[in-house]
Amino acid sequence: MMHFLLTTFLLRPLLPSILSVDDFLQGETSFSQVVSFIPPNIIRLQKNGVVRSSNPVWNVCISGQPIRKGLIMKNTDVFEYRRGHLHMHIPFTCRDYHRGDLKVWKHPDFPNVELLLDGKGRLIGGVPFSFIAVRD
């Protein structure tokens, strides 16, 4: 029930852009019906609170553990470099996922989302609007 209430609260400002006023005036669509079709974005956490991603390179980077070159070379997040006929894909390293003092990290599953993490990969700040954090 709490999950539904939280989702309802977070999505209320988005509804005018999803439905027209006529939809509500005609009474054919209730607010709770609309919310049930719009799931929140989920940021996964491990049992110890460390943020998890589908990208193994990022998972090692945020934990502060040393990373192997072989793992970086297999990274699916890449820069595309083109110069004349030269076309290269350069894989992201840990440096490419963070900015500042290593606390602000760009989440690879949500490219426009930055998270504030401690040195072991746990959330320091909250999650962005329309997101929820869920422990496995």
The model's pLDDT over 89-117, given as tens digits with 9 standing for 90+, comes to: 999 999 999 887 768 999 999 988 999 99
Per-domain residue ranges for the chain? 1-39, 40-135
Cα gap 66→48, rounded to integer Å: 19
Cα gap 50→71, rounded to integer Å: 20
Give SS3 for 119.
coil
- For the chain, count helices (H), then strands (E): 6, 7
The model's pLDDT over 37-78, given as tens digits with 9 standing for 90+, comes to: 678 899 999 999 999 999 999 999 999 889 999 999 999 999
Cα gap 62→54, rounded to integer Å: 13
Instruction: Say if CB 114 and CB 107 are below 8 A apart.
Output: yes
